[in-house]
Structure 1
Amino acid sequence: MTLKPSVICNVPADVSSIKKAIGPKLAKQYSANPKVPKYAFVLKFPDGVVTGRAVSHALGKISTPRGPILLAGQHFTVEAMGLAKAEGCEVIAIHEFFWTDAAYADRWSDRPLKG
């Protein structure tokens, strides 16, 4: 399942603005980067596991040059974190998630169908 983020533009990098953009739960994980006065884009993913595909797709929709980008979500796979780092994005996550995209997909494909 692909998680589509909410995209908020031109968000000041202070705690209160970030809290308004991503909510209090995720904002608890935020620590200000003194090199970033404002994020060009803040992408808030819905609760769940954010895969590399979701990050790639979301970043592909943003025109370049981009400016500072903050990704916020509950869990990010190893590939998602790698893509974010390669693109120079900062990431806020509730929990560290050490699964790969493939392991996560396998986990959900093994579940019996309801019905």
Structure 2
Amino acid sequence: MGLKPAFMRDVPADVPSMRKVLGPKLGKQYAANPNLARYAFVLKFPDGVVTGRAVAHALGKIPTPRGPTLLAGQHFTVEAMGLAKAAGCEVIAVHEFFWTDAAYADRFSDRPLKR
């Protein structure tokens, strides 16, 4: 499943601003970074599982060098978290999700189509 994030630029890194930008569910997960005044980019993924492919695609759309970047979403696969950390991004997730991209794809490709 491809999830396209909402891109926001120059977002203050304080709690009230982040709760406004991220919404109530993801805003609860945010803890202010004392070493940071603003995020150059905040990428908010829609509800669902964010795969490594979705993170790579989204980060590819941001110019480099990009500055502090925050990725926010409900669930991130192991590969998605790895790509985000390798790119120096901070990540906010509602739940820990320990599936790989392949395991997630296998799990949901066997389902019969709803009609």
Moved over 2 A (4+): none
Measured after TM superposition, the shift of residue 27 of structure 1 is 0.8
- Partner residue of 1:37? 37
Q: SS in structure 2 opposite 1:23?
A: helix
Root mean square deviation of aligned Cα = 0.6
Measured after TM superposition, the shift of residue 2 of structure 1 is 0.4
Normalising by structure 1, we get a TM-score of 0.98
- Partner residue of 2:15? 15
Unaligned runs of 5+ in 1: none
Measured after TM superposition, the shift of residue 112 of structure 1 is 1.0
Normalising by structure 2, we get a TM-score of 0.98
Q: 1:3-58 deviations in whole A, cap 9, x for unaligned?
A: 00000100000001101111011010111111111000000000000000000000
The whole-number CA distance in structure 1 between the counterparts of 2:36 and 2:24 is: 20
The letter of the residue matching 1:79 is E
Measured after TM superposition, the shift of residue 76 of structure 1 is 0.2
The whole-number CA distance in structure 1 between the counterparts of 2:24 and 2:16 is: 9
> Which residues in structure 2 correspond to 1:36-115 (within 5 Å)?
36-115=36-115
The letter of the residue matching 2:3 is L
